[in-house]
Structure 1
Amino acid sequence: MPAICQWPHRFAVCWALLVAFAISGPSFAQNISGIEPNIKATLVADGPAVPGENVTLAIHFEPVSDEWHGYWANPGDAGYGMQLEWDLPAGWTAGEPQYPVPQKLLISNLMNHIYEGSYAVLVSVSVPSEAQAMGAARIGLKAQWLACTDKICVPEEGEMELTLPLGDRAFGDGRFAEWQAAIPPMIDSAATFEMSGNTLRIAIPLPSVVNLADPHIYIANTDLVQYAALQTYMRSDDLLVAEIALSDPDTKPEQITGILAFDGKNGVRFAAKAGDIAPIDGAFTRLSSDTPAVGLLLLAALAGGLILNIMPCVFPILSLKALSLARAGGSESKARKEGIAYTVGVILACVALGAIMLALRAAGEQIGWAFQLQEPGVVVALLVLAVAITANLAGVFELPSVSLTRSGEPASAFATGLLAAVAATPCTGPFMAAAMGAALLLPAYQALLLFAVLGLGLALPFLLIGLVPALRNRLPKPGTWMERFRRLMAIPMGLTALALVWLVSRLGGQGFALMAMVLIIGLFIALAVVGRLQSAGKMAWPAFGLIIAPFAIFAAFALPASYSESVTNRSDSLLNPVEYSAVAMVEARASGRPVFAWFTADWCVTCKVNESVAIEREATRAAFAKAGVVAIRGDWTRRDAAITEYLTEHGAAGVPLYVWYPAGGEAQILPQVLTPDSLVTLAKGSLEPDADRPLPTAQGAGSD
């Protein structure tokens, strides 16, 4: 008899299913050898198994047609969940299955938790270090699952076998990125539940900026709640309280786990412990689809864009902005056109970058804000642009039609706006972090609107100067000083180019950077020749093409050949941090010590300023040593799916991100801009463990 019949309160449902099986002979035939199942199951690995690490396996389910659906771990009022029996090598252990967000199916007032279409359940398998002696490992799996339509259900089973090579991590099945992106992240803070009469109340910490459209809680504990009952939600600041009718009020679970789903496909996992929940008062708002928090998010994006104008990562392009402002004093019509063109350039760049990011995430890529600076080719292109602008500012050559510094034409301002946005987007500051983090969870049209408003905030000061004569009249009058100022501003732009050279070496290695420098030398020679021909009143740009062509052809072949995948970006630190991995984080928190985790990147100027001001200080090191703080660093210079997942779980779309875990406590998100004493104060305020207890090291905690 199917497992569903073992649950007394489902007696009627069980017999209904058995009757369905009896009258549909072919449905039982699915268990007979040689008969194709209605939902095919395949066991897939994400790559070779590395001794001492975990390997992720996927059980991929593919219905033979759209009418068939599978079930979540807790199937709801009818059906039964998947059952697994692993056959693993000695010492290997399989973790709990991780499911994507399920869907609701209501039939005759029976609520089922199902999956329509193909889906994958992921299982993390621990590989012992002694597995190194073997060349390959055999993994066997016996699985049972239920395949149903709206009319019949068919118990199905299958035996799967996988021969897994052991060795260094290599690129695995390309579908894993999409499957992993479908698994809802676990919220970092613990939820709380209490039972009152026939009602279950769950309080889930959730940032107020996350827009909950069509929320639904899937409870993993079986037979606890009435699945088809109406769920009500109240929200206040960063707390969501849900009320669900109980099925068995006498049940007293120690923990309740489940998934909070919203927008139909997104969600987060939670684990709730028993405790008291504050009464619902006037500070709470009952949720409905008509009262989204998008307005607050738009204000946060606007404020974040404004603040970007004074953030350190925007300093390299202040020279271009200053020249744009100086030109604005010459003509009212030109100033107005230039302010609008600059704004259009900034907004277009922000929306384009946001759209690309959302499209790649929808395709399963684990990326975040400023993803473009993780691509070596993009950084080389920015380096070429920075060198060309530096040469233009220094007077090496002139580009009258779209000059970024002299012509005052709208095309110039538009190009300046594009560059401003590209240079500014790696930063996240106050307000912006919350808005960009929420954009990852919003519907696409709302997320794109957030990116557009972010761009408007970044461009707003210059738009106002272009449109408001009173503001423009306060600027210095145009004159010969502008030429001297332009040449002076070549210095910060040149420093930006040098910083990009350093970043190229960090991304692709010294050989890759050397090949890029060959291209840059050719570019500068070509531009210098153009400048000399322009001074002589001769045709210049054909000569540019002849000179740059061999260098460009050389770079097209030499750059990919010299790129190194094995570049390490782990620099020395006073705090001797453990490099971030999920295992390292778990071990650090389990040590009973305070934990400070910081996420940085070589291309993030704000990150480097914070490290200089607050992190890499002798006072911080001494305070951490005294309090026994475990430091964990995540370097996001290169794309890293594990770090991206952590950032997303904590509502951040990019770096910097600073997280403080008190000893035995929950995560506290720190400001994106740290003061010199920020970390020292936190360390002094924490409990001091045994000073003789050694801190974990990168070797002991593992790395990604």
Structure 2
Amino acid sequence: MPTRPPPRISRSRLSVIGCVPRAADVTHARIMERLAALAILVLLALALPASAQQQIRGPGSDRMPVEIAADGAPVPGDTWMVALHFSPSTSEWHGYWSNPGDAGLGMQLEWQLPDGWEAGDALYPLPHRLVIGGLMNHVYEGEYAVLVPVSVPSGADVGKAGPIAVTASYLACTDTICVPQQARLSLDPSSISADPRFAGWQSAIVPQLDSPAHFEFTATHLRVGIPIPSETALGDLHVFLGTGELGEGDRPIYTATQTFISEGNLLVAEIPIERLAQTSSANPGADPRPATIGGILDLGEGRGVRFTAKPGDVPLEGAKPIRGGDAEPVLWQLLLAALAGGLLLNVMPCVFPILSLKALALAKAGGEERGARRDALAYTAGVVIACAGLGAAILLLRSAGEQVGWAFQLQQPIVVVGLFLLSLAITANFAGLFEVPGVAISGGAPSRGGSFSTGLLAAFVATPCTGPFMAVALGTALVIQPIYGLLVFVALGVGLALPFLLIGFVPAIRRRLPKPGSWMETFRRWMALPMGLTAIALAWLVWRIGGAGYLALVASLAVLVLVGLAVIGRFQRTGRGSVRMAMVALLAVMALGIVVLPKPEAQAASEASLLDPVEYSEAALTEARTAGKPVFVWFTADWCVTCKVNEGVAIEREATRAAFEQAGVVAMRGDWTQPDEEISRMLNEQGAAGVPLYLWYEPGGDAEQLPQVLTPDLLVKKAQASAAPQ
């Protein structure tokens, strides 16, 4: 069933008891709400007089009256079906499924049965999803019936069994208020006749799947494999979990997007989960995983099946992702997007100095056809291998439960320090302090080994950048079959290498390159300037990661490296000493220095912002969304070049601040410079491979992903649209 659009209601209207949580933290509020509602029900039960308790429709059930019926007289040794039929007094009232979702209360039944008779679990029709204030409820609107199977022992004397009774405690709600209900119902098995409506009620009950399902957990998802015939028509898919407690402190995120993956007769549902804030992992045995997980799979168009899943492997090999019944981009579209994204990386500031010197090396090579092709292929191999290796590392780490994404290696201080020293060495090379024989960036003649190394380097330094087309491609690559995901990363590398591949294989393009001459050495030295700025930016990142003390240690190591490079350059110019041995020794010193550096204690505080943003957390986002205001969340990192460009162009602007202030927009920032589990989980839920990620929430609405490249007036227009009268 399609999700009902959330109404626009104020925070004060949401604070009525039993409707939705008053507190910001949904997890805590949900628990407290249930306890409060149960306490009210108990008090009402104690306050009812004995005479009132004998009525079929007892006091307190006027909003959602309930009656009891059966499909006929019970038969000894058989299962007797009893129905509880709910009829809301007006169309605005709704009831709840056994697991009400983020708020509400499931029905409680207290039976009084003859000896040996036993009531089973209640059977429900297909619930609906109702989202209010960013919280999802599992509800029934209009009349509905719940069936309860009652086991009748073989030797039962039905005529002398006497009346059976049940006390039903439940909740009736509108979009603005909830009222606890209670009814005392009774039925005499010896004189009961079949209710003519029973067949209709029974046909509405979701049928049980006769094949076993399996489930397994990842760090951020519950994965359920449900055997569904391949010819089954799949509509607006959704899984209603029968329990909100998944063990080890985990609970489902009901409002998050569920991903469905189909292959043959298997449908796999991936349901985002979150860890309760107050849960400690010190004693996981105190809160074990459930032995079984039940629920309802909504197939769309009013169809559904009940399933019971046991722990087991849920294979994803050969699977095709679908989401909400609509197919994701097919493989060729993902590969094309990755190719275009890699091509655009060539104009990003991350790789400009490297690529400029690569073009210089190609110009110096002249027009020799075979050498140009060999050089282009070697460079392409380096780029593709680097991208594929990075992609394989991401996929392997994610399969092991780690939450990593594109450029994840830049979250490790040791990698940032290594890049800083590398950029410093490249700057020294461009400035003529020393030469690297055979490597294209040295200014010498190109070689296959040098071009391959340049390709590796170009791909590695491009990782802080993301651009158009990359978000969808890389985000989907992390959830589809691993072999196809790896192909997406390969396509990204091909796109990055494509300009030089064309130069090597198309003579007409190569002839347009400038002729070699003395200008090349001057150009090479000028390239030391942007590379030096890159080194300064990385030094700033080192400071952001570890503070001034950590930067001082790294700077000392950098001075030692520069001195060593100067000595090597002197050997090269005078022809004395073993240059190769000196380089090996310097590399050993660099590696040793990086390894023995102490681990930085803490990340520096987030930078000041014109928008005065709230620091992102799941609880903070929930609080902001329930305040009835627009919310803008941006996820950034100090090492993300695209993020910083967007912040300068569109976010950190006086016009944006003024528009946000006028519209009452809540600004929130998630800093992913170092690993953060909550940010990783949100990126994963949104299908993002990394940062930047920009989300806009209208009051009561779901997340809208904004483009990865922001225009100057985009946020201003979003704020003005939210402030305009609806």
Q: Is TM-score (shorter-chain normalized) higher than 0.5?
A: yes
In the alignment, is residue 632 of structure 1 matched against residue 700 of structure 2? no
Cα 1:424–1:292 change in 2 (3 A) is closer
* 1:404 Cα deviation after fit: 2.6
Q: For residues 377 and 467 of structure 2, what CA distance do their matches in structure 1 show?
A: 25
Q: How far is 1:655 from its partner? A: 0.8
Provide the secondary structure at the position in 2 that maps to 1:509.
helix
Distance 2:585 2:270 in 1: 68
Does residue 669 of structure 1 match 2:705?
yes
Contact 1:387/1:494, CA 8 A, preserved across alignment: yes
The match for 1:577 among 596, 600, 613 is 613
**Aligned position for 2:499:** 461
Structure 2 residue 426 is matched with structure 1 residue 389:
yes
**Residues 304 and 4 (structure 1), Cα distance of their counterparts in 2 relative to 1, 3 Å cut:** farther
Instruction: Please identify, of 332-341 and 563-572, the stretch whose mean Cα deviation from structure 2 is larger.
Output: 563-572
**Aligned residues of 2:365 and 2:445 also touching (Cα < 8 A):** no
- Asked if the contact 1:212/1:262 (under 8 Å) is kept, the reply is no
Name the aligned partner's letter for residue 663 of structure 2. Answer: A
CA contact (8 A) 1:316 1:492 kept: yes
- The code of the aligned residue for 2:721 comes to G
Indicate which of 267, 272, 279 corresponds to 1:216: 267
Note the C-alpha offset of 1:556: 3.7
Q: Output the amino acid matched with 2:706.
A: L
Asked if 1:102 corresponds to 2:224, the answer is: yes
Distance of 1:497 and 1:515 partners within structure 2: 16
Matches of 1:426 and 1:301, distance apart in 2: 16
Would you say the 8 A contact 2:117–2:151 is kept in 1? no
Q: What's 2:509 paired with?
A: 471
How far residue 315 of structure 1 moved from its aligned partner, in angstroms, is: 3.2
Q: Deviations over 1:253-293 (max 9, x none)?
A: xxxxxxxx9937999999x9xxxxxxxxxxx98x7xxx981
Q: 1:219 to 1:661 in 2, by over 3 A?
A: closer
1:185–1:578 Cα change, 3 Å:
same
Matching residue of 2:604: 568
Instruction: Provide Cα deviations, 1:190-241, integer angstroms capped at 9, x if missing partner.
Output: xxxxxxxxxxxxxx8x7xxx97545637799x9997x7xxx97xxxxxxxx6
Contact in 2 for aligned 1:661/1:667 (Cα 8 Å): yes
Change (3 A) 1:681 1:342: same
What is the rounded CA distance, in whole Å, between the counterparts of 2:370 and 2:607 in structure 1? 51
Provide the rounded CA distance (Å) in 2 between the counterparts of 1:462 and 1:491: 23
Distance 1:320 1:218, change over 3 A: closer
**Is 2:341–2:467's contact at 8 Å kept on the other side of the alignment?**
yes
**Residue 675 (structure 1) shift:** 1.1
Residues 391-443 of structure 1 deviation map (CA, whole Å, 9 limit, x = unaligned): 11111112213353322111111111111111212222211100000011111
Q: Give structure 2 stretches of 5+ with no counterpart.
A: 1-115, 125-145, 155-205, 214-219, 230-238, 240-244, 272-292, 307-313
What is the TM-score of this pair, normalised by structure 2?
Answer: 0.60
Partner of 1:412: 450
| CA 547–432 in structure 1, closer or farther in 2 if over 3 Å, else same | closer
What is the aligned counterpart of 1:486 among 509, 513, 524?
524
For structure 1, the 5+ residue unaligned runs are 19-73, 82-97, 108-113, 115-119, 125-179, 190-203, 233-240, 248-260, 273-283, 690-704
Letter in 1 for 2:373: R
State the shift of 1:665 in Å: 2.1
CA distance in structure 1 between the aligned counterparts of 2:559 and 2:261, rounded to whole angstroms: 50
Answer yes or no: is the 8 Å Cα contact 1:614–1:678 preserved in 2. yes
Partner SS, residue 361 of structure 1: helix
Deviation at 1:553, TM superposition (A): 4.6
For 1:590 and 1:326, how far apart are their aligned partners in 2? 60
Q: TM-score under structure 1 normalisation?
A: 0.62
User: Displacement, 1:510?
Assistant: 2.1
* Contact in 1 for aligned 2:207/2:305 (Cα 8 Å): no
Q: Deviations over 1:537-594 (max 9, x none)?
A: 112433455677667655543x12xx32322341100000001100011111111111
Alignment of 1:287-686 (within 5 A): 293-405=330-442, 406-541=444-579, 542-544=581-583, 553=592, 556-557=595-596, 559-560=597-598, 563-686=599-722
Find the aligned partners of 1:12 and 1:634 in 2 and give their Cα distance. 48
The Cα shift of 1:316 comes to: 4.5
Letter in 2 for 1:314: V
After superposition, the C-alpha distances for 1:338-379 in whole angstroms (9 at most, x for unaligned) are 111111111110000010011111111111111011111111
Q: CA deviation at 1:480?
A: 1.7
SS at match of 1:299: helix
Q: SS in structure 1 opposite 2:632?
A: strand
Q: Given that residues 465 and 640 in structure 2 are in contact (C-alpha distance below 8 angstroms), is that contact kept between their aligned partners in structure 1?
A: yes
What is the CA deviation profile of residues 459-510 of structure 1, one whole-angstrom value per residue up to 9, with x for unaligned ones? 1111001110001111101122111111111111111111111111212222
Residues 1:122 and 1:323: Cα distance change in structure 2 (over 3 Å) = farther
Task: State the AA in 2 paired with 1:410.
Answer: R
Q: Structure 1 pair 461/634, CA: closer, same or farther in 2 (3 Å)? A: same
Q: Residue 222 of structure 2: SS of its match in structure 1?
A: coil
SS in 2 for 1:102: strand
User: Matched residues in 2 for 1:550 and 1:224: separation?
Assistant: 59
Partner of 1:244: 303
**Contact 2:122–2:148 (CA<8 Å) still a contact in 1?**
no
1:156 alignment counterpart? none
1:42-57 to 2 correspondences below 5 Å: none
Distance in 2 of aligned mates of 1:448 and 1:489: 34
In 2, distance between residues paired with 1:2 and 1:334?
A: 89
Q: Is the 8 A contact 2:318 2:481 kept in 1?
A: no
Aligned to 1:121: 246
1:679-694 equivalences in 2 (<5 Å): 679-687=715-723
One-letter amino acid of the structure 2 residue matched with residue 603 of structure 1: W
CA distance in 2, matches of 1:265, 1:336: 37
Counterpart contact for 1:501–1:513, Cα < 8 Å:
yes
Q: 1:616 to 1:2 in 2, by over 3 A?
A: farther
> 5 Å matches for 1:254-273?
263=316
Distance (whole Å) between structure 2 residues aligned to residue 495 and residue 430 of structure 1: 25
What SS does the corresponding residue of 2:529 show, helix, strand or coil? helix
Indicate how the Cα distance of structure 1 residues 218 and 536 shifts in structure 2: closer, same or farther if over 3 A, else same: closer
- Call closer, same or farther: CA 1:514–1:104 in 2, change over 3 Å: same
Q: Provide, for residues 151-174 of structure 1, a one-character-per-residue CA deviation record: whole Å limited to 9, x for no partner.
A: xxxxxxxxxxxxxxxxxxxxxxxx
Contact 1:434/1:652 (<8 A) preserved: yes
Deviation at 1:80, TM superposition (A): 13
Equivalenced residue count is: 488
* Distance in 1 between residues matched to 2:428 and 2:700, nearest whole Å: 55
Residue 645 of structure 1 deviates from its aligned partner by 1.0
Contact 2:261 2:269 in 1 (8 A): no
> Could you say what the CA RMSD is over the residues aligned between the two structures, in angstroms?
4.2
Query: What letter matches 1:263 in structure 2?
Result: L
SS of equivalent to 1:632? strand
Q: Once the two structures are aligned, what percentage of the paired residues are identical?
A: 50
Q: Is the 8 A contact 1:598 1:656 kept in 2?
A: yes
Q: What SS does the aligned partner of 1:378 have?
A: helix
Whole-Å separation in 2 of the counterparts to 1:491 and 1:662 = 45
Match of 1:5 in 2: 120
